Chains A and B, each alone.
Chain A
Amino acid sequence: MSDVLFSTTAAAYAVACVLWLVYLRGGEAPAVARAPWALGIGVAAHLLRDGLRWGLEGVAPSAGIGPTLSTLALAIATAMLLLRRAGPRVDVIAGFALPVALGMLLASRVVHSGGTPSGATFVVHVLTNTLGVAAAIVACAVAIAYLLLERQVKAKRLGVLFRRLPSLDQLETLSARSVYVAIPALTVGIITGHVVAARSGRASGLPWQQLFAMSTWVVFVVLAVLRALGAWRGRRAMLGTLAGGAALLLTLAIYARRG
């Protein structure tokens, strides 16, 4: 049952992602109308699968690296599903974020899940980090959309993206808000991570993992400060967001390898 649900989830995410990406490359509009449905099916199957594993097998969403990656993938997919409420055309951003969610979901099956701490602080650590990572991935997906659209407008080659992506202003606002959500979530996540590590008497991660985790946080904080000061907007801010996103993915990759 769990395997069927896993396959359904992966297939649904892949279909939704392909439909949105094909649409952004000039595909027919009627086909993309099925993408939110595919994503919805994927999220439902994902929820059911992780819920069943927790209820029947006792595998909590934070019980090791594998379940955590799966939870992160679910958070990103759910964020993409909710994103369409942010305005017209915004849902297509999912085309840029779902590959990350799909990658995390697939990785959750292959990484070795070692023993994990428990307790309320650890739950807070996992929840806040999940929220922070999901928000950061949304910010990065929006930043990719912004940079592609901005390049078309600047180069005066208005193609399909011009007609199918949200406005630059909308993307800028969405990316900024996502970063503003990611910062406090990641802040709490990092602090609680250290507390959990101290209590369990082991290091909170490999030195590289700590470095990239802190880099992510620093980049996002600097970005938020520069935005607030009005020094960085538009392309620069989006490149900064992607730099933060890259550091975050490296952190997650090391985390997954650590097992």
Chain B
Amino acid sequence: MSRTSIVVVGLSHRTAPVELREQLAVPLDSLGATAKEIAALPGVREAMLVATCNRVEAYVACESATRSVEALRGFFAGRAPGSAVGDCLYEYADESAVRHVFRVASSLDSMVVGEPQILGQVKEAYAAADSAGALGPTLRRAISRAFSAAKRVRTETGIATGRVSVASVAVDLATQIFGTLAARRVLLLGAGKMALGAARALVVQGAKLSIANRSYEKAAELARARAADAHPLEDLPLLLTAADVVVCSTGASRYVLTVEDAKAAMKVRRGRPLFVVDIAVPRNVDPRINDLDGVYLYDVDDLEREVARALSLRGGSLQQAEKIVDEELTAFERDRRTQAGAGPTIAALREHFRSTMRAELERSLSTKLKHLGDAERAALEAALDAAVNKLLHAPTVALRSQAATEDGEAMAAVVRALFRLPEADPGDER
């Protein structure tokens, strides 16, 4: 009996530059449809797509890991034609794939280890794939377990407390450029979660906040909750002349802040420095503005590189978190073996006994026992069902307990052979 494989193919901040991640970016409202598209690839049964500014990963449940990896590589290559995407993709299968999703959800694979956004992003990907009908029992179980692992990591380790984050690096940089942030003006372009976090961290240091958005209503809504002033995005040239720090995270697929904008603003600013934080993917700010005198641009990769460097100095919580992931993985694999090995065999065994009993009962009721009334027939049927259940109780318990061990598959195979049970559907892990 072959088991359903779990495979992940993708790229992340560790393997691909932001330029390539931009090409593969998938907006939140397309996650479900793209997952469905992936689920329709040859050999793929279930799919989920995680797409954040740091990673784009396709998780699939499939019959053959090798075939699915090939199909997924082709899928990614098709979305970034002419790029070196093939060199940046990594792939994991089965236990490694599950470990990977556990680590991703637990924020251990994030450059900003311990940052909370990734769990929410995986949950969004899960919900999108589920509502698109791309999920099945295999991925549901794996991803749900990943959420449990992430919860344990957050509550049982200090990984999320006092963490080094993109926001804290942005604050450090702003402080090292401007000294105190009191009375400095922060301009938030867009409404991305990470950008809001960074802006909040700057405001806590005493900076004043302005929010500009393509939708003025959205800007006003955000501004109301943060004692900030709201502006439409058309005010950007004017806002740039007053701001000291600009944090960008819009959903735009082109540059919102261009070299020309920055040049014009710097003329009016009379050389006052401007610190620009571009957290968006695709990037919102033309990278060439960093060449201008007095302009300091940091994109998400730059910030996270600093975070990684700071985190490399830290260790204890990470080890603890990795141990939790190991424990959860062991438990998941044990359950999976139970489900995959014993579940279909037990179901087939019960069905075999029941159908045999039912066939014999039908034959007796139509011949020797045809004088029995409906009540007696029902009682006899119930008695035989109870007998089957009692007879199968011990073998069921044995199959379940052994399924969690290395001998589980062998035992299931013996039972199938003894009773000539049909091969189970590999996807049937009920």
Residues of chain A touching chain B, judged by Cβ–Cβ distance below 8 Å, are 149, 153-154, 156, 158, 162, 166-170, 229-236
| B179 A235 Cβ-Cβ under 8 A | no
* Distance between B192 CB and nearest chain A CB, rounded to angstroms: 21
Question: Which chain B residues lie closer than 8 Å to A235 at the CB level?
Answer: 293-294
| B306 A158 Cβ-Cβ under 8 A | yes
Q: What per-residue 1/0 map shows which CB atoms of B401-423 lie under 8 Å from chain A? A: 00000000000000000000000
| A233 B272 Cβ-Cβ under 8 A | yes
Taking the complex as formed, is B426 at the interface, i.e. its CB lies under 8 A from any CB of chain A? no
Q: How far is it, in angstroms, between the C-alpha of A43 and the C-alpha of B270 when the chains are bound? A: 40
Question: Which chain B residues lie closer than 8 Å to A170 at the CB level?
Answer: 179
The residue in chain B whose Cβ has the minimal distance to the Cβ of A234 is B294
| A149 B176 Cβ-Cβ under 8 A | yes
Taking the complex as formed, is B175 at the interface, i.e. its CB lies under 8 A from any CB of chain A? yes
| B176 A167 Cβ-Cβ under 8 A | yes
Question: Which chain B residues lie closer than 8 Å to A154 at the CB level?
Answer: 290, 296
Question: Which chain A residues lie closer than 8 Å to B293 at the CB level?
Answer: 234-236
| A167 B177 Cβ-Cβ under 8 A | yes
Taking the complex as formed, is B88 at the interface, i.e. its CB lies under 8 A from any CB of chain A? no
| B273 A168 Cβ-Cβ under 8 A | yes
Q: How far is it, in angstroms, between the C-alpha of A150 and the C-alpha of B178 when the chains are bound? A: 12
Which residues of chain B (320-342) have a CB below 8 Å from chain A?
Answer: none
User: What is the total of A-B residue contacts with beta carbons within 8 Å?
Assistant: 48
Taking the complex as formed, is B173 at the interface, i.e. its CB lies under 8 A from any CB of chain A? yes
| Residue in A149, A162, A234 whose beta carbon sits within 8 Å of that of B273 in the complex | A234
Question: Which chain B residues lie closer than 8 Å to A153 at the CB level?
Answer: 173, 176-177, 296
| B270 A168 Cβ-Cβ under 8 A | no
| B271 A168 Cβ-Cβ under 8 A | no
| B290 A168 Cβ-Cβ under 8 A | no
Of A166, A167, A232, most B-chain CB atoms within 10 Å: A167
With known contacts A153-B296, A156-B298, A158-B306, A233–B270 Cβ distance under 8 A: yes
Of B175, B178, B271, most A-chain CB atoms within 10 Å: B271
Question: Which chain B residues lie closer than 8 Å to A231 at the CB level?
Answer: 270-271
Q: How far is it, in angstroms, between the C-alpha of A166 and the C-alpha of B180 when the chains are bound? A: 11
Residues of chain B touching chain A, judged by Cβ–Cβ distance below 8 Å, are 173, 175-179, 270-273, 290, 293-294, 296, 298, 302, 305-306
* Distance between A112 CB and nearest chain B CB, rounded to angstroms: 46
Question: Which chain B residues lie closer than 8 Å to A232 at the CB level?
Answer: 271
Q: How far is it, in angstroms, between the C-alpha of A153 and the C-alpha of B293 when the chains are bound? A: 12
Q: How far is it, in angstroms, between the C-alpha of A229 and the C-alpha of B271 when the chains are bound? A: 10
Q: How far is it, in angstroms, between the C-alpha of A234 and the C-alpha of B179 when the chains are bound? A: 14
| Residue in B177, B270, B296 whose beta carbon sits within 8 Å of that of A169 in the complex | B177
Question: Which chain A residues lie closer than 8 Å to B271 at the CB level?
Answer: 230-234, 236
The residue in chain B whose Cβ has the minimal distance to the Cβ of A168 is B177
| B270 A230 Cβ-Cβ under 8 A | yes
The residue in chain A whose Cβ has the minimal distance to the Cβ of B294 is A234
* Distance between B268 CB and nearest chain A CB, rounded to angstroms: 10
Question: Which chain A residues lie closer than 8 Å to B290 at the CB level?
Answer: 154
Instruction: Supply 13 further A-B pairs (C-beta < 8 A) apart from A149-B176, A162-B176, A168-B179.
Output: A153-B176, A153-B177, A153-B296, A156-B305, A158-B306, A167-B175, A167-B176, A167-B179, A169-B273, A170-B179, A229-B270, A230-B271, A236-B293
The residue in chain A whose Cβ has the minimal distance to the Cβ of B178 is A169
Q: How far is it, in angstroms, between the C-alpha of A45 and the C-alpha of B175 when the chains are bound? A: 38
* Distance between B13 CB and nearest chain A CB, rounded to angstroms: 15
* Distance between A248 CB and nearest chain B CB, rounded to angstroms: 24
Query: Could you name 11 residue pairs across A and B whose Cβ atoms are closer than 8 Å?
Result: A153-B173, A166-B179, A167-B177, A168-B178, A169-B178, A230-B271, A231-B270, A232-B271, A234-B271, A236-B271, A236-B293
